[in-house]
Amino acid sequence: MELKEKFISSFLAVDDYLNEDSVLHDIRSAAIKNFEASGFPTKKSEAWKYTSLKSLLHNDLSIFPRQEATVEFKDVRKYFLHDLDTYKIVFVDGQYSAFLSSTTHEGMDVCLMSSALTKDKYKAVIENYFNKVAPQDGLNALNTAFAKEGAYIYIPKNKEVEKPIEILNFYTGAESSLMLQPRNLVVVEENAQVQIIERHQSLSGHAVVTNALTEVFVSQRAQVDYYKIQNDRPEASLIDSTYVKQDRDSVCSVHTFSLGGQLIRNNLNFYQHGANAMSIMKGITLIEGKQHVDHNTLVHHIAPNCESHQDYKGVYDDNATGVFNGKIYVEKEAQKLNAFQQNNNILISDKATINSKPQLEIFADDVKCSHGCTIGQLDEDALFYMRARGINEKEARGLLMYAFANNVLESVKIPELKKRINRLIALKMGVQIGFDL
């Protein structure tokens, strides 16, 4: 039996557990039908031209772990931003870990999707927002059909959340072939503010595939800063789909740090429904070996006077492959727009590859759109300059790559996180640079 059929038949098994009356029941039934119709994406589809899931989607994959796994805090401590007080929503093999988490219901909800999906208290929000922005086909439909757990974040009007929220997904390897389906919902009401850090981390050398789906709703004048740390083991793969709907005068930024994993596919989509909205997408990709990272972005400009900024930097070594596919779609009504897209890449090895493809579709006539893409090697003149000052070649290369990626880090608003990413990058470069940039 093919994986697709296997998943569809296992849906029938879960279906029995679901309350027939719930809204969810209909959503999930529709989702599995959509998945049945569309299946997994293949390279035939334009959006997946450079990324093949074929080798990942083998028939042994299963969606539900057969046993519950636990992890000790000491084993995962280093994956938390431990020098900072944060809210934490932690999952181990897709199951909520109350022991590792630190949630809240005081003046907002930072908790679990499973309770949000089942308790009456959250019904109104779920009905208004759940599954309302992510298109329902292929992997999204699969997630919707099966997702039971994830983070649920609801920030009411005028609330400025003082601590960042960490969403951590650990994978233990207790079960060898899991395809996890985490599902997050973030609703930020008018004039509220929140910072979120999301991380997927495999704790063993077992292969795991995560198909994560996050929906973010940013109401008028609200601000969301979302940070994604993707620094997993080389056996772990992640498909991370994020859909952001913005109202007028809102600001949303998503920083994606892709530093490790077998295959990472980021689908990052912004829909600007209100005037004066600002969307910021930044990314640093730093990979080696046979790793593959694909950034697929979309900004859909629907309202006037909006802005979008995209800045993705990539450094590829060995046989690593990268993809940047950035689409800016400007509706006729989206006048006075300022859209900017930049993708700069450095190939360290002759065998590394990057496919960079900007796409602009503009139907408004009074807009400012710019895009630029560069692919190159490290600047030899800069390298000589540094070496002539006594800096060893290895350090000079490291420092240059640091410098190359640095302006993406500048906009990180959580100093502890910035420091952490800096350290991860230095480690990755194998350089001891005697200072924090």
Partner 1 sequence: MLNIKNLHAGVDQKNILKGINLEVNPGEIHAIMGPNGAGKSTFASIIAGKEDFEVTQGSILLEGEDLSDLSPEERAHKGVFLSFQYPVEIPGVTVTNFIKTAINQTRKAQGLEDMPAGEMLQKIKTVSEMLDIDRKFLSRSLNEGFSGGEKKRNEIFQMAMLDPKLAILDETDSGLDIDALRIVASGVNKLRNEKNAVIVITHYQRLLDHIVPDFVHVLMDGKIVKSGTKELAYELEEKGYDWIKEALK
- In the complex, which residues of this chain contact partner 1 (CB under 8 A)? 379-382, 384-393, 395-396, 399-400, 402-407, 433-435, 437
φ, ψ of residue 19 in degrees (nearest 5) = -65, 125
The residue (of 176 and 392) whose beta carbon lies closer to partner 1 is 392
**What one-character-per-residue DSSP string does 130-183 give?**
TTSSS--SHHHHHHHHH----EEEEE-TT-B-SS-EEEEEEE--SSSSEEE--E
Q: Which amino acid is at 142?
A: L
Question: For partner 1, which is the closer residue by CB, 88 or 313?
Answer: 313
- Which among 64, 70, 68 has a CA at the least distance from the CA of 17? 64
- Closest to partner 1 by CB, 107 vs 434, is 434
Decide whether 114 or 406 has the Cβ nearer to partner 1.
Answer: 406
| DSSP letter for each residue of 86-134 | -EEEEEETTEE-TTT-B-B-SSSEEEEHHHHHH-GGGHHHHHHHTTSSS
Task: Decide whether 105 or 413 has the Cβ nearer to partner 1.
Answer: 413
Instruction: Judge whether 142 and 59 are in contact, CB under 8 Å.
Output: no
Residue 173: left if φ>0, alpha if ψ -120 to 50, beta else—which one?
left
Rounded least distance, CB 378 to partner 1, Å: 11
Burial 406-429 (b: 16+ CB within 10 A, else e): eebbeebebebbbbbbbebbbebb
Least separation, in Å, of the C-beta of 309 and partner 1? 17
Phi, psi torsion values for 362, nearest 5 degrees: -120, 120
CB atoms within 10 A of CB 43: 12
Q: How far is the CB of 354 from partner 1 (least distance, A)?
A: 21
Cβ nearer to partner 1, comparing 59 with 392: 392
Min dist. Cβ of residue 372 to partner 1 (A): 16
3-state secondary structure of 48: helix
Dmax over CA atoms of the chain, in Å, equals 73
Nearer to partner 1, 195 or 344 (CB): 344
**Is residue 407 helix, strand or coil?**
helix
Q: How far is the CB of 297 from partner 1 (least distance, A)?
A: 23
The CB-of-396 to partner 1 minimum distance in angstroms stands at: 8
For the bound state, the minimum distance from the C-beta of residue 280 to partner 1, rounded and expressed in Å, comes to: 19
